[in-house]
Structure 1
Amino acid sequence: MTSDSSCGDARPTTGVRGPARPGFVHLVVGIAGLAAFLLTGAYMAFQLDHLHGMPWPQRSMYRSAHIYLLFGAVHALAVGAVRPFPNSPWAARLVLLPVALEPAIFLIAFFLEPAGLMLSRPISRLGIYIAFASSVGLVILLAKERESMRSLALRMHTHQPKAEREPKVGL
């Protein structure tokens, strides 16, 4: 485990440095997802005439797919902003990679599901399952990271001389 000292940031990382760092990738994916959200909104407004005159199932599918895209983008942004890098880099990559794919999955669903009236929403369902599984995995990894930090702090505290551990009594 290393820390990225070039930015003055002493938080633990997975050892990946530079712009390919998972936090950076998730921020870029999240911003791209927000841009796609705005563009799909413009598409619905200008190409689909604000969805006026469209049958309600198809209209509902476009609107919900649009919101799913926003959800995927915000999820990626949140993961990128928090920068969760647990002690277990392979497990972290297993959890973090699907989060980066969510906006793309929801963007594909936006164009394919409403147009084909796929009422079972197979693509959106996949994105939702990925979001749920990665969120649960992330919570588990962060809980393990927190526990390891707590045990590290406890070990550091017990290795201090007794005189340093006891509070000084003032006059």
Structure 2
Amino acid sequence: MQIGYDCPTCSAPVRLAGIETLSVLACPHCGTALEVPADGFASDSPPRLARCLVCPSADLFVRKDFPQRLGVGIVVVGLLASCVTWGMRELLATFAILFATALIDLLLYLLVPDCVACYRCGARYRGPGADGFAPFDLETHERHRQQVARLHELAARPPAGG
């Protein structure tokens, strides 16, 4: 199984493979070592991911292992190209572009593999053993987003006292 995450100390991207056998996740940039929690993997054979190894969260979800911005970019380019042909009154070309864009989107959906991501820290897990989790849930995402916002607000508040 592979993991990809941003180091909590230096924010550099970290990519590691074979994490089932590691006891420590080490950042190659700053040397920060994160101990792999004892309950990080279920005691199955082969090992299956049970919780996030980077943060203390057990809230993980399945998503496509594809950059969302690139996917949105493909759709926007298709939309803009179809608007141009629509303005030129080329009805057949307009619908051909829209159909081709939808076909590209469908092919990417079918061909791109899934990965598991953490709601809290964004770590991504790929490979065998990183499955069995539910798809994205907006309520869980919002709970984690609001928790981070409250922690930042508390950190920015001056200490109470006299």
Please give the TM-score of this superposition, normalised by the length of structure 1. 0.29
More helix by share: 1
Please give the TM-score of this superposition, normalised by the length of structure 2. 0.30
Structure whose alpha-carbon radius of gyration is higher: 1
